[in-house]
Structure 1
Amino acid sequence: MTVGVSYVVAMLRPIDQDEISPADVAVIVAISWSGILLMAHDGLTTRRDVEVLVHRFAFVGGLMALVGLAQYATRQPLIDYITVPGLTATSGVDSFFRSGQVRISGTATHPIEFGALLTILLPLALHSAFHARDRGLVRRWFPAVTIALALALSMSRSAYIGLVVALLILLLGWPPRLRWRVGAAVAIGGTALSLAIRPLFRTVRSMFVTAANDPSITSRTDSYAIALQFFQDAPVFGRGLGTFLPKYRIFDNTYLGMLVSGGLVGTIAFVAIPVTAIVILVRRRRRWTDPEAKDLALSLVAGIAAGAVALAFFDAFAFPMTMGTFVLTLGTAGALVRLHRDDSGPVLSPRACSSERPEGSPEGSGAPAVTPGTPAG
């Protein structure tokens, strides 16, 4: 609704000709995101469907991570060799090297998008590894191991931040025994990688130590003043989703771009979706006793939170995979909440208990309710 209102506002103001088509596309894309979310939310009919979707989602993420690992090993994009009859490549792989180290991107259009996708999928892959008992050991752990390795080698600052967010949520929610096991595995794996690939460790360290002098950071911070100027022109519903073109400025911040294009109302509505999902999952999880359902809810919270944090580091609306993955995760969370009933039944008042019909008494027969221990006469 907010996207539709901002579109009307954009068409009623004086608008450049080259902004009209992107605004049309933005509305269509927003509707498609809603379709993905609602299809997952209401289209899954059983808990088994939710689990199957999560397992397959994680497995596809493992395949994408495997492509990234192959890129790191060969130092080649590899996807340039893929040709589809009838289609022509419009762009190559962007930012493949950083400080002499390979920035893997898998089949994504950019390493930042690649990292954002994997941070969303890693918690789901870990859930599958722990609970998919009907699958073999290799099939269970393949997605989690490949995704974790690809994230470690991603050379993306936003991916590392998203990874930390996801792991912190998981470690805080897991049972103590599992928490210590995974924590130890992360510490040992990180130490082994830093010793085996010393240039990678030095580059990652410099990405955070020298962040204040990094042009990619300063370009983002310098965008705040520019965004404020555009926001003041249309603070309520913005200038229209899709109308703020790259020729004006690239914010590299989805929330900042939403504030300018969708206004305060659109930004609040957009942020409210993942916040609502996280709050409801946390509340329901406290009332569940099924360990598998509790772990899946925790994994979805971690994936949604990591994805929401990653959106602050690039313009997710401009990338084809990120928002589709994000809203599909949100829809899966809604399906889990809808299909997994609370373990504790509703508490009935004494009056409701005394008025219950005995089992087998036909409805509307006029037979009086019989309380156990009370003579029927």
Structure 2
Amino acid sequence: MLYLLLLTIITSFIPVSWASPAGFVSAADAVVIVFVVCACASAMVNRLHNRVDLSVLALSLAALACIYVSQYLNDVLELVNVLIKYSIFLVLIPTAIFASRLSLDTTKLDEHLAKALAFGGTMLCIIVLVQIARGQHLYSEDGTYHILLLEQRVNKNAIGSLLTFAVSGASWLAIIYRARVYAVLSLFFFAVTLFISARSATLIDLLLLLYFFVYLRGFQPSRVLAIGVVFSIVLGTFGLILSTGVLDAQLERLTQITELNTSNVTASTSRILLWDFAWQKFQDAPIFGNGYGTFSYIGSGWLNGMYEPHDSVLQILYAGGLIGFLAFAALILRSLLKNNRHPASVLLNLLMLGYLFNSLVAIIWIRGEGHLFWSLCFLKAVPIPQRSRRSKQPNARPRLAGSNLTPLSR
């Protein structure tokens, strides 16, 4: 089961999907389906009675129920692709993880996860660089950079979000296990992120590297986690302030420029317009939102028809309203606050918070990123066995079985 979990993580770094009668399907979707079938079959055959946090499962099902209610009230149940995607995130993934939890080798969970993330990031970087060398890249009308993969446009920000996970995994192995090759990989991921101009992901990568330095210096991870949560709340509040019309003069200027259809409005500056539009629409349906997958900016020029407000808070508020936002917030906070005594929990929290920070100026939970986030979220929500990072003998440095990595003595 461990290999299916790691394969889910690795295939999440393939940022393309294919059309099917049931909507778009990605490689990670296929692996998750195999994972959940094998996990449930194994649990039934071996009669594994796994301890499951029913509150987490209840919150997950409640979030999915809110999505269905929002789609029904807005008469957009025909958007089957949206329902399938969130059913995979909130039903299949937690079912697979909870059913297989006792079958997983959890004594080295952080190492396994970090290696899978580093491998997936390496694979993605190689693909991106090869495509750029082949000329398979382009700039859209708004100046956004895309990589062409299998005749599909992959936005630079989607690649940057995925590489944020890879930077964390490689940095964890480099600092905790003193593996220099992963230090080089971490810098390589950061360089590629910077090269494709994924600015928000680059900033998050810098913050993640700072976190690792703080952790290495011996500060308490719980305090750093608390600071991170407060920082996310401050950023979210600032984003809402921007979207409520405080910068009316800037909004008016950007609107005029867009109506003239000039090139002065870029993908970055246009976010203010998208945020304001999403906030106004949220006020029209504040309880259950306007439905998932229905956002479309109304304006002139290239910005007309833009999907999603490129802010995770406003994206959820627009689509699911206050009910949907509270359901997701409760589920994520419940996961972040559980099982924080094990060292692997530090890595899981770091990965989740890094992605959430980056999503404040990006689209949240698209395929690939969503598979990674929710897999980590539900892994964090179940008990993780303790293991010592020190040898009982002060002069000995134990080596991990089947690995040349040596845990860092702290």
Relative to the length of structure 1, the TM-score reads: 0.60
Q: Cα–Cα, structure 1 residues 12 and 112, in superposed 2: closer, same or farther, change >3 Å?
A: closer
Query: How far apart, CA to CA, are the structure 1 residues paired with 2:320 and 2:203?
Result: 26
Q: Cα–Cα, structure 1 residues 306 and 153, in superposed 2: closer, same or farther, change >3 Å?
A: same
SS for the counterpart of 1:238 is coil
Q: Cα–Cα, structure 1 residues 147 and 106, in superposed 2: closer, same or farther, change >3 Å?
A: farther
Deviation at 1:321, TM superposition (A): 1.6
Tell me if structure 1 keeps the 8 A contact 2:117–2:165. Answer: no
Q: Does 1:28 align with 2:84?
A: yes
Of residues 105, 121, 144 in structure 2, which corresponds to 1:46?
105
Q: Does 1:254 align with 2:302?
A: no
Q: What whole-Å deviation, never above 9, does each CA across 1:247-272 have from its counterpart, x for those lacking one?
A: 47541223212101111121122234
Which has more radius of gyration? 1
Q: What whole-Å deviation, never above 9, does each CA across 1:228-259 have from its counterpart, x for those lacking one?
A: 33212221121222233564754122321210
**Structure 2 equivalent of residue 322 of structure 1:** 369
Q: Does 1:146 align with 2:206?
A: no
Q: What whole-Å deviation, never above 9, does each CA across 1:274-321 have from its counterpart, x for those lacking one?
A: 44433336xx24xx5xxxx3xx4333222211100121222234x322
**Structure 1 equivalent of residue 385 of structure 2:** 340
Q: Percent identity?
A: 21
Query: How far apart, CA to CA, are the structure 1 residues paired with 2:319 and 2:142?
Result: 32
SS for the counterpart of 1:218 is coil
Question: Which amino acid in the other structure matches residue 117 of structure 2?
Answer: F
Unaligned runs of 5+ in 1: 78-92, 178-211, 344-377
Q: Cα–Cα, structure 1 residues 41 and 172, in superposed 2: closer, same or farther, change >3 Å?
A: farther
Q: Cα–Cα, structure 1 residues 102 and 260, in superposed 2: closer, same or farther, change >3 Å?
A: closer
**Structure 1 equivalent of residue 258 of structure 2:** none
Q: Cα–Cα, structure 1 residues 131 and 250, in superposed 2: closer, same or farther, change >3 Å?
A: closer
Tell me if structure 2 keeps the 8 A contact 1:105–1:111. Answer: no
Query: How far apart, CA to CA, are the structure 2 residues paired with 1:64 and 1:248?
Result: 26
Q: Does 1:127 align with 2:185?
A: no
Deviation at 1:95, TM superposition (A): 3.4
Q: Cα–Cα, structure 1 residues 143 and 39, in superposed 2: closer, same or farther, change >3 Å?
A: farther
Query: How far apart, CA to CA, are the structure 2 residues paired with 1:141 and 1:170?
Result: 12
**Structure 1 equivalent of residue 242 of structure 2:** none
Tell me if structure 2 keeps the 8 A contact 1:106–1:114. Answer: no
Structure with greater contact order relative to length (CA < 8 Å, sep ≥ 6): 1
Deviation at 1:75, TM superposition (A): 6.0
**Structure 1 equivalent of residue 50 of structure 2:** none
Q: Cα–Cα, structure 1 residues 48 and 62, in superposed 2: closer, same or farther, change >3 Å?
A: farther
**Structure 1 equivalent of residue 208 of structure 2:** 166
Query: How far apart, CA to CA, are the structure 1 residues paired with 2:210 and 2:141?
Result: 29
**Structure 2 equivalent of residue 375 of structure 1:** none
Query: How far apart, CA to CA, are the structure 1 residues paired with 2:66 and 2:146?
Result: 40
Unaligned runs of 5+ in 2: 1-61, 220-253, 255-263, 298-304, 389-410
Deviation at 1:324, TM superposition (A): 1.2
Query: How far apart, CA to CA, are the structure 1 residues paired with 2:307 and 2:208?
Result: 30
Tell me if structure 2 keeps the 8 A contact 1:105–1:114. Answer: no
**Structure 2 equivalent of residue 76 of structure 1:** 135
Q: Cα–Cα, structure 1 residues 152 and 8, in superposed 2: closer, same or farther, change >3 Å?
A: closer
SS for the counterpart of 1:109 is strand
Q: Cα–Cα, structure 1 residues 257 and 297, in superposed 2: closer, same or farther, change >3 Å?
A: same
**Structure 1 equivalent of residue 277 of structure 2:** 226
SS for the counterpart of 1:280 is coil
Question: Which amino acid in the other structure matches residue 226 of structure 1?
Answer: F
**Structure 1 equivalent of residue 123 of structure 2:** 63
Relative to the length of structure 2, the TM-score reads: 0.56
Query: How far apart, CA to CA, are the structure 1 residues paired with 2:376 and 2:352?
Result: 7
1:1-377 matched pairs, under 5 angstroms: 1-12=62-73, 15=75, 19-22=76-79, 24-34=80-90, 35-40=92-97, 43-44=100-101, 45-48=104-107, 50=109, 51-72=111-132, 74=133, 76-77=135-136, 95=139, 109-130=154-175, 138=181, 140=182, 143-175=185-217, 215-245=266-296, 247=305, 250-280=308-338, 284-285=340-341, 293=343, 296-317=344-365, 319-335=366-382, 338-341=383-386
- Report the structure, 1 or 2, having the larger helix content: 1
Deviation at 1:102, TM superposition (A): 7.5
RMSD value, Cα: 3.6
**Structure 2 equivalent of residue 185 of structure 1:** none
SS for the counterpart of 2:269 is helix
Question: Which amino acid in the other structure matches residue 374 of structure 2?
Answer: V
Query: How far apart, CA to CA, are the structure 2 residues paired with 1:104 and 1:280?
Result: 38
Tell me if structure 2 keeps the 8 A contact 1:54–1:124. Answer: yes
Deviation at 1:33, TM superposition (A): 0.8
Q: Cα–Cα, structure 1 residues 106 and 274, in superposed 2: closer, same or farther, change >3 Å?
A: farther
Tell me if structure 2 keeps the 8 A contact 1:3–1:241. Answer: no
Tell me if structure 2 keeps the 8 A contact 1:94–1:109. Answer: no
